Structure formats: C-alpha cells, structure tokens
Structure 1
C-alpha cells in the first residue's frame, strides 16, 4: 500500500488541493443551508381597527378629484361596515389614521379601486363601544406551508405565501399570531416535516423558542394550469401538534399577477376561520404540550402515591423476611419472588411498546387496557415512530401481569419493575 510520502510531488499537491476543495465545499454547503435570500420580517402589529375590501368607483372633472372623493366615500362605507353610529363625513374622516390601497386604477376623470380604511382605535372606541376589545387567544405559532409541484415549502426560501402572512396586519384579530421571520437557523428548525411530528417534547421545545402556546398550520396547495395561466389554490386550516383539521376552501387567481391578491384574501379567510374556532372553543392550547410543569392528573397522582406506598411495604416485608429468627437458627430465608400486593390493592408497573404509527399505538393500548386484572392505564409518553410508555395499575405481581399479557398474544420481556411488549 502506497503512502502519501511515497507519491510523486505533483500527485501529493493534487491530493492536498482536492482535500482543501472538499473541505471548502462542505463549509459552503453548511453556510448555504442558513444563508441566502430567505426570511421576511412580519409587519408590526397595530391595534387600530382596519376595514378592508371597500370597493369605490367615482367620476369627477379630474382623476385627482375622483380619487379624493373616492377616499372620502370609502371612509363612510368602512364606518357603516363597522356598524358605527351616524356621524358627519367630516367627523368620520377625523377618526381615520390611514388609507390602504389594495388595488386602484386612475383615469383622466375616473377612479376605481379597492381600499382599506384604518381607524384610530383610541379615537373611534367611544363611538364603537367594546368593538375589538374581546380577549385575545394565547400566542399561536403560525407555520404557513406551500404545496406546489409535489414539494412542500415553508421557510427554505422566500415565497408568496410566507410574504402574505408576514404582511398581514393582525393587530385587530382576536388570534395572537406569532410569525417567525424564517431566516438563519429558523429555516432549518421550521420545516414541513415538523408539522407531521407528534412528539410533545419536540413541539414544546419549538414553542418555547418562539414564546408560543400552540401552533396554527395554514396550508396553501397551488396548482398552475400553464405558464401565465390561472392558478387554483386549495387552502386548508389545521391546528395543534396533531394537525387537527379546521376548514378548507378554494380560490382562483386569473394570472400570476393576481396571485398576491388571492393569497392576501386567503389569509383573511384563514384569520376569520381561526377566530370562529377560537370563539367556539376549538382552538385551545393543548395541555399535553406543557411538559415542564410536572402536574399529573389527580387520578393518576393517587395511583402513583399508592404505588409508592406499596413499594415501601414490599421493602419492609423483604427486610423482615431476611432478618434472622429463632426458628431459623440464624439462617437467612430468601424473600419471596413475584409476590402479589395485599388483597384488594393494586400496584403500578411500567409497560413499554413500539408504536410505529397512531393506529398501532391505539390498538396496543386498547389490548393492554383489556387485559384481565388491569384496573387502569396512564400514558406517560407517546412516541409515534418510537417507543411509547404507559403506566399500568394491576391487581397482581409483575410476573402475573407478564403472563396475562402473554395470554393476549404479546411477546413479553420482563424486568424488575418494567415490561417490554411487542408483536
């Protein structure tokens, strides 16, 4: 075998240069994973009251006059849309802080546009009462997913769906959105694969990173008819670490130029869906995500306490059995093995099993619960694609529990205080 020193000088230089190139290439790839044009900062949320999609079509002597009259008309229409009390147009104008131009066409004597009107909340509140003062939700992490051409995209690169959510003025919504920027390491952490995870530990770490309590997943499935042609979007709203379905709807853009407007409309539809779900109690922080508090269900806590007392009793009996007695003449008797707990009581044992998918997890858990002698079960850890752990309250010894599980067609590996089962 030839060593590097035995090679000709030109060959050694070539090999060293190749190694440096590969090292440099690896460094470039690592940098490219978090660098480049990615990340869109969300607009600052304002608590002002915004009314969108106000249609105006005004004719006047000049285009500028038509625009001024159209803006004044839009303010009155927006105020009526809020069910505000009857006020003069000049008074309504004094409550407006900004006009948002969604779309407009200005002609020599005509102005056609779709406008948004933003009212200053402090000035408008006396006339609107408690409008918009309802309690807001807990912080909700928003993960906008784009599905197009067989790929799923989130923050790997800038995209129109991410931009639509970043530019959404969410201050007036009852949903407290947490919108990541998607730059740097966020593009590695927040991917489409994360939305399919069910591990509460993974989700808790991510939610803690962004100061959120739960997650909302708005999905945009875009299908392009042909280059420059219509774009059909199927939009699906999901919620929580289990990706619970909330609603779905479709919109169509006549051309790629109309895509931003369609996505903007979709974001508003999503916001309305989330607010309705919040009002009827569908959107609530998942208590299983709070893995740091250590709080147990009171019923499970009582079982844990009972198991601890039984363990202490077992240790005391074993010590008493090992102590020399007059009858044993100083001999040490062996402690009984697999002794059942006292009559009428139960003991807690740990049962582990592989759970490749949700169906397998549910089927195995149901069979364990149906095992004769099992009083109750408590799920300690759900790991879809891994090993799940449950606590079993059983009226018998761990050996008896193992035999009962074997009778249910399980392959059982028994330990001192835990059992591993499989099929």
Structure 2
C-alpha cells in the first residue's frame, strides 16, 4: 500500500478552499432564503369585486321570533326596511322592497333560540331601485386612482408588508357606487416590496410613472390611519388623513374613536366611507385630478399658447431666410460650400439599448438627463428599471453605435460596447 503525504502548506490551502466554498454555498442559501422570505408569508388581501349597485351599510337589528329561523327572517326584513329608509326611498310595502334587494351581506350576527342580533349591509339592484332612490342617472367618475392605505400603529407605518385591519376594510369596501375609480392592489408577492410607506415620500415623476403604469392608474390617493391606544384593550383614537398626488398633498382630516378593540374594525369601516366622501368632494372641487407632470403627453396646450408658439416659429423661419439671402448676396461661393456638408451630414436615427447602474431613483433621473443632453441624441426613455441594480434605456441617436459611444465617453461616461447595445457607468 502506498501512502501519499501532502506538504503542510498545500493541505492548509486546500482546507481553506473547501471552507470558503462551503461558506459561499451557505451564504447563497441564506440570501436566497431571505429574499424568498421578503415576498412570502401572510400578506396580500384581494379586493372584493365592486358592483354598481346601491349599498346601505351598518344596518343593526335586534328582533325576537318563535324560532331562530323566524327571528332571522324577521331581522332581515327589518334591516331591508331600515336600509330603504336610510337611503331616502319612498314608502313601500316590505314585499316590494324585498324584490329590489340584490344581496344581504352579514357583517356580524348572533343567533339564539328566539332572538337574532346582527349588523348587515343591504345591497339594492340599481336597475330596479335607482329611479326611486335618485341614482338612475349617470355619475361622473374620477380617473383610475392607485389607493395606498397606510396604517400607523405603535410608531410603525405599514402598508402591504403584513396583513392589517386597515388594508382589510379597504379590500372589502364596495366601491362600485362611488365617484372615485379606486385601483386597489392586493399587496401580495412583490407588491409588498414595491408599495411601502417610503414610496409616499418620493417625488420622482419617473419613479411614480413606472408604478402607476404597472397598475394602470393615472394618479395616487393615500388614506392614512393613525391609531393611538390609551391602554391595552382600552379606547382607541383614530386620526385619519387624506392625501393625494405624487407631492403628497393634504386633502382633509378627521378623527374617530373606538371604545375597545372589538369596535376597532367598525370604526375603520366608518372611516373608509368618510374617506370616500372626502375624495368625492375633492373630485367635485377639481382637486382630485391627474397631475399633469406625471405624463408629459397628457399636457394639453391652450389654443392661445399654441398660436404664440406658431407665430414665434414663423418669425424665426423668416429671420433665418433673411440671413440666408443676405449671405448668398454677399458671397454665393461660400454659401454653396457651407450648405453642401449640411446635406451630407444628415444621418438616419437609430435606436440602441443602453444599460446603466441605478443605486436609487435619483440615479435614474440623472442618467436620463445626461444622455438626453448629449449631442445627436433625439430621445431617451427607460424600458426596464431595477433600483439597486442595472436598468435599461432606449436611446434614439442620429448615427451609429460607435458614434454614440464616443459621444458618451466625451461626457465623462465609462462605455462598454456590445451587440447593438452599450453599458455605461461613472
């Protein structure tokens, strides 16, 4: 049998390499687990399907009957009658009111042998009841508004990071009859990383445009609930603030109170309806409309400004023509030699992909502004954004890829050329 003995230095080196390899594998496993944990877990509440029916919320009943079933039927009839009165409907028999009910939603109920206590939501069919309740006509609606409910409780501000009662009441809100077109994210998966309380403090229009386009919204509204507990299990004071737009502007504020934890959810449900009234009032006053700085193509130029621009262009063209005629009269040969290169210098505009590092949202705006200002660049827009990683922009340039690379190098960028693409960094 042959025994091979390795030198001590090589043995230690191999042991260190094996240890480093095992450490790298363990680190990758931990990193993968951490990344998975950030998007997994008990988060995300899908919003209920909204209908355009007419809803009367929080109808309470306390009735008796010979049996539990009879007490329940009596309670439902009484709730339908109370809901009809709450909505301002005319006097009608119970059978007629019942024929217009589309659904009964049970918020809370207690059944006894001969007693029924419940809080119900009564939904009336708009096609049958709308004309008698004044809701048959068309109602103006807002543009799609991304709704970001913020809960501040115990000093921590959360949105979709974990399930919370404020997110739940917004998900359960029947918004079909509202003047506001709410876009309500579920908050599951990657949405919990993208939509956080920190997002409400950002002002970058490029960043907001990316988020709004992801959810098909035109602007953002932010209902904030700040809860203050007097003592554990005791009264809770809720301060509710309505904000809107990428600049986080204040729309209104109000305060509600719950006597204990069991009354917290009913208080939050009342707050949602108060918010809906606030946002509807803001829409009627002309405040709640899409910010024109979010999408430049949405900006409408008034006819007066358009005429001034046209007159200015005509005057500039006439002045240029006058200078050309004067130069031609002074020296026709020089004019011919100067205009010939201009005709040959016209080049086709091509589109190229440009990768650039984006540690934060400000880096996205800075890179776009720098590339757009480069000579020969006709336009630049992001096609993929990865904050903390590498983003991609599409650049329209009058020239070839090598010329674009040279132009960017002249402006201080480190440029690497690829196949119909560039990678730039500072």
Tell me, yes or no, if the aligned pair for 1:76 and 1:92 is still in contact at 8 Å.
yes
Q: Which has the higher helix share?
A: 2
Q: Deviation of residue 10 (structure 1)?
A: 2.8
CA distance in 2, matches of 1:168, 1:108: 32
- SS at 1:33 equivalent: helix
C-alpha contact (below 8 Å) 2:126/2:136 kept by paired residues: no
Per-residue CA distance 1:319-345 (angstroms, 9 max, x = gap): 78988968xxx9xxxxxxxxxxxxxxx
Q: Aligned in 2, Cα 1:151/1:314: closer, same or farther, shift over 3 Å?
A: farther
Shift of 1:307: 6.7
Q: TM-score, normalised by structure 2?
A: 0.68
Aligned residues: 331
Give CA-to-partner distance per residue, 1:181-202, whole Å, 9 cap, x none.
1122222222212212223332
Secondary structure of 2:128 counterpart: helix
Report the Cα offset of residue 217 of structure 1.
Answer: 0.7
1:241 aligned onto 2:246 = yes
TM-fit CA distance, 1:15: 1.3
Please tell me whether residue 60 in structure 1 is matched to residue 40 in structure 2: no
Structural mapping, 1:237-316, within 5 Å: 237-293=242-298, 295-296=300-301
| Matching residue within 167, 171, 174 for 2:176 | 171
Q: Paired residue for 2:38?
A: 33
Distance 1:185 1:268 in 2: 29
Match of 2:21 among 16, 20, 37: 16
Q: CA deviation at 1:235?
A: 0.7
Tell me, in whole angstroms, the C-alpha distance in 2 between the residues paired with 1:136 and 1:290: 20
Aligned counterpart, 2:149: 144
Name stretches of at least 5 consecutive residues in structure 1 with no aligned partner.
Answer: 331-382, 388-423
Alpha-carbon distance between aligned partners in 2 of 1:316 and 1:228, rounded to the nearest angstrom: 82
Give the alignment partner of residue 84 of structure 2, picking from 79, 83, 98: 79
Task: Provide closer, same or farther for how the CA distance between residues 44 and 300 of structure 1 changes in structure 2, counting only shifts above 3 A.
Answer: same
- Indicate if the aligned counterparts of 2:237 and 2:257 stay in contact, CA closer than 8 A: yes
Aligned-residue offset at 1:172:
1.6
1:42 shift after superposition: 0.5
Contact 1:161 1:263 in 2 (8 A): yes
Deviations 1:290-310 (A, max 9, x none): 323465455665666677667
| Distance change in 2, residues 1:14/1:113 (3 Å) | same
Shift in Å at residue 104 of structure 1?
2.8
Gaps of 5+ in 2: 1-8, 335-364, 370-426
Match of 1:362 in 2: none
2:161 to 156, 160, 173: 156
Q: Does 1:109 align with 2:114?
A: yes
Give distance in 1, aligned partners of 2:102 and 2:300: 48
1:132–1:172 Cα contact (<8 Å) kept: no
State whether residues 126 and 135 of structure 2, in contact with CA within 8 Å, keep that contact through their aligned partners in structure 1: no
Task: Give the Cα–Cα distance (whole angstroms) in 2 for the partners of residues 138 and 30 of structure 1.
Answer: 35
The answer to whether the Cα contact below 8 Å between 2:71 and 2:114 also exists between their aligned partners in 1 is: yes
CA distance 1:129–1:255, shift in 2 (3 Å): closer
The alpha carbon displacement at 1:256 in A equals 2.7
The correspondence of residues 123-134 of structure 1 with structure 2, limited to 5 A, is: 123-131=128-136, 133-134=138-139
Q: Is the 8 A contact 1:240 1:286 kept in 2?
A: yes
Kept after mapping to 1: 8 A contact 2:244/2:251:
yes
C-alpha distance in structure 2 between counterparts of 1:301 and 1:188, whole Å: 43
Give distance in 2, aligned partners of 1:320 and 1:7.
86
